[in-house]
Chains A and B, each alone.
Chain A
Amino acid sequence: MAEKNRLGKALKSLLTGFQVTQKHLKTAGDQREHKPISDPHYFDDADKAVTIQYPMEKIPVPDMGRYRLHMESEDCIACDKCARICPVDCITIDSFKAVDDLGYTSDGSKKRLELAVFDIDMAKCCYCGLCTTACPTECLTMTKVYDYSEFDRDELVYHFGVLNPEEEADKRQKLEAAQQEKKQVGTAKKKGGLGLKKAGS
């Protein structure tokens, strides 16, 4: 009797196995829809194909996705806070004092520094997002772009600096000239001052 039951059980479980696989086989042509887990019908597609043919179709990413960094150069005051807080040192900033009036950022901060170099090496980035919280003008943000692989590693260094080399050289020269001028004016003033003092005493 026990033997008979075991055989029956075995046959029944074999048939159950076929039922399970044919259920999945039948719905294999249907693609699973991309629904959020909050959707009441989220589990209705459990037997449908899960494969996403990646480059052709993608899972929707939230608009606030935290992937590739982006910098709005116009809003940057070159404060260097992001570069200093970065745990992997992937941001390189080089700035110098502006001679011309650079105006204001969109949140009203005065821009006083020329942004010569602002490089982000995304190959080093660890996506911690500390730089975006440190940024006082909120010009540094993370975007939803996550597929940006390159054949050459150097291509992963993104350049956000606003000056090209000629402009930079030009502006640096101007700054130097301005500083020289200031120095001369300063020394002249100094001399004059001393003279006055002498005269007064």
Chain B
Amino acid sequence: MTSIPITWIVTVGITISLVALYTLGAVYAERKISAFIQDRLGPMETGPFGIFQTLADVIKLVLKELITPAAANKALFILAPPLIFVSVFAAFGALPLFASPVDAAMNVGLLYILGVLSIDIMGLLMAGWGANNKYALLGAARSVAQIISYEVPATLALLSAVMMYGTLNMQELALDQGVYTEQTTYFLGIWDVTEIGGMLSWSVFRYPHLLIAFFVYLIAGLAECNRAPFDLPEAESELVSGYHVEYSGFRFALVMLAEYGKMLIVGIIAAVVFLGGWNTILPNMAGLPLAEWTSGAPGTLAGILWGACWILGKALLIVVFFIWVRWTYPRVRVDQLMTLSWKILTPIGLGLFFISTIWKLAEVYGAIG
């Protein structure tokens, strides 16, 4: 009994420092990539190439005064940032960073993540309403409408993948896409790649329709993170900065931390469900056991290190892609946003769901594999 709280503290500590470090890096990356795309240099003064810029920003934010507007609804205003942060941070609990029978091995893993992330919407609405500012309220209203709309295609895309594996457990989802699975895996449903592994046994290659699901999830994920081109809730030009316009100091830092953390969560979910989770990218091919060399058996130290590298690498690539998208596309209109969600992505998601159903039935009745 005494050992459990210590493990918890260690796990929470590691996760918090991981999220904080990642946010520092992601904000720096965002500023640098945006600068490079716009032919600028970005932060250059604080440390070599400005690498300490975000650290300096955080120190500044923490030292700043916490201002509560006189007309704000104080309880809602003060409670909102911790709620937003906690709901995002709680989702990290079910994300597998490496192969392990304990870590993130929750039977309702994916459902739990999606459910906990939805509490975030409550926080946004509390922040927008509590600030008693018309910009904040409009931003929050847009944000909530947008996240709820895009949760439909995102969940449909995830479900069509989940159905193929028959589990919501993030560990099992990841395990079944690599060389250590006990199932038989088929590339494109025909070629047995159980021993080859690597990229060939990832969801998107085993079931080609999941490649479309992956892109549907990416687009919906962009919208759920309130990121450009779906950053209407924060539209600087019209709403100043949306629901967090009245926040200052550490509360603002919490909101930002949650926003970037959410991006990492979307990246990790996409990596686990579609891109093989903590499994290696290299297959056992041409006589070389590349997959075995670049991954460790579940439970071993090598497995932990390789797994963490692969899954964080994949998730961070997705985050970089999100940043690249933000600095490439202009913001969509509200009607375009809703059209994309309800008239394009949701029907595609339903179609994919239907294909998954047929595929699963065919598997069960022996037509495939």
Contact = CB atoms under 8 A, between A and B. Distances in A.
Interface of A: 14, 17-18, 20-22, 24-25, 28-29, 32, 47-51, 53
Contacts of A22: 324
B15 interface: no
Contacts of B35: 28, 51
A24 B38 contact: yes
A21 B41 contact: no
Contacts of B329: 14, 17
Nearest to B42: A51
Nearest to B33: A25
Contact of A21 (B40, B44, B328): B328
B40 A49 contact: yes
A32 to B, nearest CB: 8
Given A14-B329, A17-B329, A18-B324, A25 B36 contact: yes
A50 B40 contact: yes
B328 A50 contact: no
Nearest to A7: B344
B39 A49 contact: yes
Contacts of B40: 49-51
A21 B40 CA distance: 13
A49 B44 CA distance: 13
Nearest to A14: B329
13 contacts: A17-B328, A17-B329, A18-B324, A21-B37, A21-B327, A24-B38, A28-B35, A28-B41, A32-B39, A49-B36, A49-B39, A49-B40, A53-B41
Task: Describe B's contact surface by its main secondary structure.
Answer: loop
B39 A48 contact: yes
A51 B44 CA distance: 11
Interface string B108-128: 000000000000000000000
A23 B37 CA distance: 8
A126 B324 CA distance: 45
Interface string B39-56: 111001000000000000
The range of chain B's interface size is 10 to 19
Given A21-B327, A49-B41, A51-B41, 4 more contacts: A21-B324, A24-B36, A51-B44, A53-B44
A17 B41 CA distance: 21
A108 to B, nearest CB: 53
B51 to A, nearest CB: 16
A21 B324 CA distance: 8
A25 B37 contact: yes
Contacts of A48: 39
Contacts of A25: 33, 36-37, 324
Contacts of A50: 39-40
A28 B328 contact: no
| Of listed A14, A21, A22, A47, residue having the most chain B CB within 10 A | A21
Contacts of A21: 37, 324, 327-328
Nearest to A31: B41
| Of listed A14, A18, A20, A25, residue having the most chain B CB within 10 A | A25
Interface string B11-47: 0000000000000000000000101111111001000
A18 B329 CA distance: 9
A55 to B, nearest CB: 10
Nearest to B32: A28
B93 to A, nearest CB: 35
A151 B40 CA distance: 30
A14 B215 CA distance: 14
Contacts of A32: 39
A67 B217 CA distance: 58
A51 B40 CA distance: 5
